[in-house]
Each structure stands twice: as C-alpha cells, then as structure tokens.
Copies of this chain bind each other. A is one copy, B any other.
Amino acid sequence: MRLSAKACYGTRLLLDLALHQGEGSVPLKDIARRQEISLLYLEHLVAPLIARAMVKSVRGPRGGVSLLKHPEEIKLSEVIQLLEGQIAPVECVNNPKAYPRSDFCAIRDVWNEVHKATYGVLESTTLQDLLERQRQKWDLKQPKDDENQWNNGRDTNSTAHVRNERNSRRGKGQTICRR
C-alpha cells in the first residue's frame, strides 16, 4: 500500500520549511536542491498546500514559500489526505454511504480497521513532532552540511537526470528519486 511520491515530497517540503522557519521566504529552488526533487514538479506540488493555506508564497526577487501555520497546527493526516486524495485503502471505507451493501461485508470492516490504525498515527503526528525528531537526529549525527534529511526508499543512485532550473534547454539535472 504504497505512498505516492507526491505525498512523500509534500511532507518533505513542509519539514524543510519548518526547519527553515524564521528565514523569510524560502525559494522553491533551494528546497528542490536540498531535497533532490524536480523544481518543476515541486512548483505544481505546492499548489494545493497554498490553496489549503498551509503555506504562503511570494513572487519576485527574494520570493519563495513559507509556512502559514505553526508546525504544531499541521497534522500529517491533513497533509496526506490533501496530497494523496485518500488515506483509506478502499473507497467503501472512504465513502460508505455510496456502498450500502458493504455494511454486510466483513472484509470492509478489516479495511476500516487498517484505515483507523493508519489515520490514528497520522492524526497524532504534527509537523512540530517531525521537526523535533529531525533536530534530535541531527544533534546526534551533526549533519550540519547534510540537510538532505530524507531517504524515502527511492533509488538515489539512479542515473536518471532531472532539471531543477526553469526555462533551460534539456540538460543534465541532479539525480532524482524515481518510483
């Protein structure tokens, strides 16, 4: 039951912003570089976060994005729901009214339990929690020059390339995580 790269990248973007709070607008270009995510993709990915008022953006020189809510106000359940579309494993858990017969389905009950278990973890975890945990890990490791805090299991040794600059001809980009 795989998490999409979109939800994963979005979570990393938010943590990156939390780690850089107090620095004004953070250019997406910098986040893309630190997180090794395509800038062009990141620009699209940030839109729902802006629309949901989790993040605000400023255009122009010294532009970028920044958190609009406090990290403790941002629950992961909200983030994943927004980016993934649904947290429930099947649609009849997500929208039981549309599937009245599923009331008599024992299997649906299990997916419901899976959903509750997953949702419970995400609902009780805030961006603040992530921030504190990440800082603790860094304090242990002293990775001052290693803000690439993630490794979400994607193949970071891929030879695929991606651009993270706009309006440039196709060319070498940084190694990306692919699915």
Protomer copies: 2
Q: Is there contact, CB below 8 Å, between A94 and B153?
A: yes
Which of A39-47, A65-73, A102-110, A164-172 makes up part of the contact surface?
A: A102-110
Cα distance A134–B95 in the bound complex, in angstroms: 21
Q: Looking at the assembled complex, report how far the CB atom of A74 sits from the nearest CB atom of chain B, in whole angstroms.
A: 13
- What range describes how many residues of A lie at the interface? 35 or more
Chain B residues within 8 Å of A156, by CB: 99, 101
What 1/0 flags go to A156-168 for Cβ under 8 Å of B? 1000000000000
Q: How far is the CB of A18 from chain B (nearest CB, A)?
A: 10
Indicate whether A78 reaches chain B with its CB closer than 8 angstroms: no
Q: Are A89 and B121 in contact (CB under 8 A)?
A: no
CB <8 Å contact, A2 and B3: no
Question: Is the pair B152, A3 in contact by a Cβ cutoff of 8 Å?
Answer: no
The answer to whether the Cβ of A76 comes within 8 Å of any Cβ in the partner chain is yes
**Interface residue ranges of A16-51 to B (CB < 8 Å):** none
Give the CA-CA distance A1 to B125 in the complex, in Å: 17
A interface vs B, CB < 8 Å? Answer: 1-3, 8, 11-12, 15, 76, 80, 84, 86-87, 89-95, 98-102, 104-111, 113-114, 117-118, 120-122, 125, 130-131, 133-134, 136-138, 140-141, 143, 148-154, 156
